[in-house]
Amino acid sequence: MKFDTPATTNPIDRLKVVGKATSRIDGPLKITGAATYAYEHHEAAPNQAYGHIIGSAIAKGRIERIDLKDALRAPGVLGIVTHENSGPIGSKKTTVRTRVLAGPEVTHYHQAVALVVAESFEEARAAAALVRISYARADGRFDLAEAKDGAPLATPYRGPPETRIGDFEGAFAAAPVQLDESYSTPDQTHAMMEPHATIAVWDGDRLTCWTSLQLIANGVEDMALTLGISKENIRMVSSFIGGGFGGKAFILSDNVLAALGARLVGRPVKVAMQRALMFNNTTHRSATIQRIRIGAGSDGRITALGHEGWCYNVPDGLPESAPQPTKSMYAGANRLTRSRMALLDLPESGQLRAPCETPGMMALECAMDEMAEKVGLDPVEFRILNDAKSSPEHPGRPFSRRQLVECLRTGAERFGWDRRDPRPGARREGRWLVGMGVAGAIRGSIVFPAGARVRLDRHGIVTVETDMTDLGTGTYTIVAQTAAEMMGTSLNKVVVRLGDSRFPVGPGAAGQAGAASTTAAVYAACVKLRETVAQRLGFNNDEVDFAGGRVRLGNKSIALGKAAADGDIVAEDRMEYGDLAKRYDMQTFGANFTEIGVDCLTGEIRVRRMLMVCAAGRIINPKAARSQIIGGMTMGVGAALMEHMVTDTRFGYFVNHDLAGYEVPVHADIPHQEVIFLEEVDPMATPLKMKGVGELGITGTAPSIANAVYNAIGVRVRDYPITLDKYLDRLPALT
């Protein structure tokens, strides 16, 4: 499939609306408080009761007894859901693996053991303190380092668990220059602003949930399987989401318990998960241990590249496959990647912004810098020398577009890379040691089948409907831009409705796939609508032009709304891609440059300036895309310097389970961030020739900071996050 068509036949290429920096059309709703989030649908389901989740006090074992007597007598209490009255829950077919309700077995700390439902939130919370639960604690496995040896191969969601090209072991052993190092990344969590929240209401055997959920269609299917009801009887609505980053990809305790609570008390029930429960109750990014081996000739060309990763999860969970980006990033004739996953009794690990690439690049890009030093090459030039011309894992399979070299060269020039002193610890400004670092960036350009429906009324208003969601990333706006461009009208004539399971099925917001997949579906639906409009107006020519809210052919010009004078015109279509992903290696690429300062006396690290250059297809909305990239870069600062869920390996829980103990970057931590988008259209990607960009920004930031730290102080920290306890005693003396 190739969407390389001239502007006369592909109206999206006119670029009158698409490609323009556009403020979010949902922005006024959000800044005035009029955007309705999951917990705020008060009028849609009146007479709501409140649910409060009780989390398990142990990580592994059994519930021996639940005493509800005092809690049930407490003021305002309507009922309490436990495993004893919930009915059957779960199915082996569901994609939800997090156990939403313990009982009698407990499989992780803060697993939900009960939901107290009361007239008010305060009454539910007070009554929850009166529930008495007795446990029988069992021994568990909570330490990845201890469980690493013997961990089995694990199949990631993209590709096999092990890949081999050529003779890696032989080529590595024969290489004149070798690197063999281990790196580790910690458990990390999503830390989104909006908690997991759901309002559930039953109408007979029909269930409606207003919820904070990224994947609507998956949520409907999973809820049906979890509760044992028909998915045709379930409606999910997620109009606005206050951040998710993958943590709201699937239904979790709030969704299921709200539904069970509403069924128990016969009233709508709303549940917002307490912040302290979110860290252990929901999913997170697994810690990883990685071994990277690189062999190269004296000229710096890589001859052997091996990347092995260990992570953990629950049974049937997916691995955090850190070696994934190595499959597409750099050349090397002899290759090995291998993913192993230990089974631990910790909460389930799952998707967090740019899964696989984020932890994998935190190791690979540091190893590339270390290897560049060994062979005596500049880090930028070493990466360029080893650029892959076609897919390294699939010889002969081309990239749809690959501008990694252009990203590196453009970034080096813009950032002033030539002013970098390659000698570690050589640049001083008073008490500050200053360093510069670089890293490549990559994130898969995934597209999924997606559907959309468009409607034209007599006023010329175009309404777009799809179950795609918007996490605050700007989906409403790029969907509107696509429809406006296709129908030749202005943005204020487009209405976008998202996040409702009654709408055509889209991909949902995950994997950097939502924007490209959804706009392609809107494109397809608009093509159908254009055809119908042209016919209604008496045009039967492919050269008909839609512009300025009118339909024109030659000297004939008719208002767009005239076509719907006798009733709305509705068109629906779906975009699919066949074997496109098998014929092309489809990726987005970038290059991160960072300058940091390290205080010689305190060891404090301050990020001074950052630049990212991106090659990610046509940029539909540069304003929103920049926002996504700087957000990703900010998350990269957190990954490099502070974010770490600390595991108590005795009792099996994350100790710092709140936003006071789990540190994330704040405004004072972030300097000026510059973003450059290279000119790029990818005719193999979608009809819009675009790719996703939301997750690319995080994948190269952390290693560019790590490399800058090494350049500043000459200490290589391979265990993230880079906290001062790991290098303070090795700081150069202040002279």
- Record the tokens describing residue 414, joined without a space: 């813009």
Question: Is 485 among the residues known to form the active site?
Answer: no
**Integer angstrom CA distances of residue 203 from 121, 207, 227:** 23, 6, 15
d(CA 358, CA 352): 9
Find, among 361, 267, 261, 334, the residue nearest to 591 by Cα: 361
Find, among 719, 709, 714, the residue nearest to 730 by Cα: 714
With a CB cutoff of 8 Å and minimum separation 6, the contacts of 712 are 424, 425, 427, 433, 434, 435, 596, 597, 598
CA 290 to chain CA centroid, Å, is 21
The half-sphere exposure of 711 on its side-chain side, counting CA atoms within 13 A, is 28
- Record the tokens describing residue 197, joined without a space: 């929240």
**Integer angstrom CA distances of residue 130 from 69, 70, 127, 207, 426:** 9, 6, 5, 30, 62
Find, among 313, 263, 203, the residue nearest to 79 by Cα: 263
Please say whether the beta carbons of 141 and 344 come within 8 A: yes
CA 336 to chain CA centroid, Å, is 26
How many other C-beta atoms are found inside a 10 Å radius of the C-beta of residue 87?
11
Phi, psi of 278 (to 5 degrees): -65, -30
- Record the tokens describing residue 727, joined without a space: 């290098």
- Give the active site residue among 308, 465, 595, 695: 695
Phi, psi of 166 (to 5 degrees): 70, -155
Please say whether the beta carbons of 634 and 128 come within 8 A: no
With a CB cutoff of 8 Å and minimum separation 6, the contacts of 318 are 154, 156, 157, 350
On the question of a cis peptide bond just before residue 315, with omega within 30 degrees of 0, the verdict is: no
d(CA 571, CA 533): 10
Dihedral sign of CA atoms 406, 408, 409, 412 in order:
positive
What are the catalytic residues?
695
